[in-house]
Amino acid sequence: MAKLLVLNGPNLNLLGTREPEIYGAQTLDQIHQHLQQFATNQGHQCECLQSNREYELIERIHAAKLDGTAFIIINPGALTHTSIALRDAFTGVGIPFIEVHISNVHARENFRKHSYLADVAAGVIAGLGSQGYELALQAAIKQVTGSNE
């Protein structure tokens, strides 16, 4: 059994009502429930956390080093484009992670094209809607266990 962690950053608690033409109609609760079911079905544990506070995400990443988390999936929201501190948290703990974006950040405003995390991530998924989280989880399970059943 692998311990997996899904983190969502600022404003992603608004999914479902936030610019649905860009971010879709699914709520974050629905996405989290689906991911937890997906992980459980394969015998793994998946914790999901959303926070609008940068420090809370950083503290959870630090704690992940101590609680045996094998892999992190993160949609950092706008912190993607601003947060050296989040990048340093990941390089500090050395836990592999995948960066997920619901929208195709490369087809939007210029300021969304740069990520402070992408070059230290195991991979990046953008533009595939909420399915991106599931694909990331599938890849994480494969990397951690060597199988995706």
Ligand X SMILES: O=C1C[C@@](O)(C(=O)O)C[C@@H](O)[C@@H]1O
Which residues are known to be catalytic?
A: 23, 101
Interacting residue with ligand X among 112, 124, 139, 145 (CB under 6 A): 112
d(CA 69, CA 117): 19
Structure tokens at 41: 């079905």
- Cα dihedral 19, 117, 32, 72 in deg (nearest 10): 180
Q: What is the SS3 assignment for 82?
A: coil
Is residue 129 near ligand X by the rule CB under 6 A?
Answer: no
d(CA 115, CA 112): 7
Is residue 102 near ligand X by the rule CB under 6 A?
Answer: yes
DSSP one-letter code for 84: H
DSSP one-letter code for 42: T
Is residue 58 near ligand X by the rule CB under 6 A?
Answer: no
Interacting residue with ligand X among 70, 98, 105, 125 (CB under 6 A): 105
Summary count for the chain: helices (H), strands (E): 5, 5
Is residue 77 near ligand X by the rule CB under 6 A?
Answer: yes
Window of 41-49, 61-69, 98-106, 136-144 that interacts with ligand X by CB under 6 A: 98-106
Beta bridge partners of 97: 72
| Residue 59 neighbours by CB under 8 Å, 6+ apart | none
**Nearer to ligand X (CB atom), residue 49 or residue 78:** 78
Interacting residue with ligand X among 49, 63, 78, 107 (CB under 6 A): 78
Window of 30-38, 52-60, 74-82, 138-146 that interacts with ligand X by CB under 6 A: 74-82
Interacting residue with ligand X among 36, 51, 83, 103 (CB under 6 A): 103
Instruction: Enumerate binding residues for ligand X (CB under 6 A).
Output: 11, 75, 77-78, 80, 101-103, 105, 112
